[in-house]
Amino acid sequence: MQAAINELASEGVKCSLLENCKPRAYSSGQEGMGTAPYVVKLNDATYDVGLYDNGDGGFEARTDFWNGSVEKVLGVETNVNEEREQARLGKLFQRYAVCATENHAALNGYSTTRSQKEDGTLQLVMTQAA
């Protein structure tokens, strides 16, 4: 996740990854928004994104979408293949998926090359190392 945050920051998203804290939300006692193992702090949004253990070895992203500030920072336009909820945090999900895939590929002897299409879609090409 840190690699994804670093990439977002390099692209101008003012964010950082915090550990074991409570994400900002409309109400300090908002249900489902308690202390999270990781929090994506968004400096240009009213609220943050909490990453909570999903009980399956992964994480679930939770945030307060009220007023659209999180979506303005991390959102992407939806298309036929994307669900609206996923698109609201699209930049975060995309960067995490790409970084995790590149890391896994490197650990298994592959190199990767990225290319970005006009619509923002990233394409990864993996090549097995000689």
pLDDT band at 79 (very low <50, low <70, confident <90, very high): low
pLDDT band at 7 (very low <50, low <70, confident <90, very high): very high
pTM of the model: 0.87
What pLDDT, on a 0 to 100 scale, did the predictor assign at position 126? 92
Map out the domains of the chain as residue ranges. 2-128
Determine the Cα–Cα distance for residues 46 and 25; give it in Å rounded to an integer. 8
What pLDDT, on a 0 to 100 scale, did the predictor assign at position 129? 75
First to last CA, the chain: 29
Length of the chain: 130
How is residue 11 written in tokens? 């692209």
Percent residues over pLDDT 70 in the chain: 96
Q: Are 72 and 91 in contact (CB under 8 A)?
A: no
Mean pLDDT of 81-94: 84
pLDDT band at 107 (very low <50, low <70, confident <90, very high): very high
Mean pLDDT of 23-34: 86
Determine the Cα–Cα distance for residues 39 and 88; give it in Å rounded to an integer. 17
What pLDDT, on a 0 to 100 scale, did the predictor assign at position 82? 58
Percent residues over pLDDT 90 in the chain: 76
